[in-house]
């Protein structure tokens, strides 16, 4: 593979529909199948071990970090959540600058950006200037900030056309989690 072939892309999966995290997982599976080096950092999901993807990652030997413990916008005191989000972003920066990865997923990273817990303009500039130029980065979550959309190479908006919860169907193991 030549240098020209290999430029790290900034990919954003946003929108209110289902499929953002799952699409990122699919990219990880595809990249893993190609023998690429992958890392997933989850910023929100907190129920460690329950999620099928976490169990799959363990079985695949994928590097997987869950920053979700204590991270919620429902808490009365947001201090720990903000600290956790910034810790996650620091970890992400370490991974993205290292050159050790072909693909890094920042799952649900749009939320700390939207809340201003991590400054969107500074984060986008960092991704442009400081990340290893050969590392693909995938960011998921609703309401991606405009600066991120502007900087991205690929943006897909997942629009919710129809959702089973609307019909009173409960979350399904292996599908929703």
Residues making contact with its own copies (CB under 8 A): 1, 4-7, 9, 11, 13-15, 17-36, 51-60, 102-103, 136, 149, 152-164, 167, 169-170, 172-175, 177
Q: What is the nearest approach in angstroms of its own copies to the Cβ of residue 138?
A: 9
Name which of 15 and 117 has its Cβ closer to its own copies: 15
Q: What is the nearest approach in angstroms of its own copies to the Cβ of residue 126?
A: 20
Note the Cα 152 to chain centre separation in Å: 14
Q: What is the nearest approach in angstroms of its own copies to the Cβ of residue 8?
A: 9
Name which of 78 and 157 has its Cβ closer to its own copies: 157
DSSP string, 107-150: ETTHHHHHHTSS-HHHHHHHHHHTS-TT-EEEEE-SS--HHHHH
CA-based nearest residue to 73, from 123, 127, 143, 167: 143
Q: What is the nearest approach in angstroms of its own copies to the Cβ of residue 154?
A: 5
Q: For residue 175, give the 3-state DSSP assignment.
A: coil
């Amino acid at each position: 593979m030549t240098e020209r072939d290999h430029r790290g892309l900034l990919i954003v999966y946003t929108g209110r529909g289902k499929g953002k995290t799952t699409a990122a997982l699919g990219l990880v599976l595809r990249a893993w199948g190609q023998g690429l080096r992958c890392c997933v950092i989850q910023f929100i999901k907190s129920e460690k071990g329950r999620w099928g993807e976490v169990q799959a990652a363990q079985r695949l030997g994928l590097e997987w970090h869950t920053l979700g413990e204590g991270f919620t916008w429902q808490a009365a005191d947001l201090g720990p959540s903000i600290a956790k989000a910034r810790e996650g972003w620091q970890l992400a920066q370490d991974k993205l600058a290292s050159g050790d990865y072909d693909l890094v997923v920042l799952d649900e990273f749009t939320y700390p950006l939207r809340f201003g817990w991590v400054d969107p303009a500074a984060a986008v500039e960092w991704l442009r200037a400081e990340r290893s130029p050969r590392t693909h980065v995938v960011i998921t979550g609703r309401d991606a900030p405009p600066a991120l959309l502007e900087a991205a190479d690929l943006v897909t908006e997942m629009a919710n056309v129809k959702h089973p919860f609307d019909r009173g169907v409960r979350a399904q193991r292996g599908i929703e989690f």
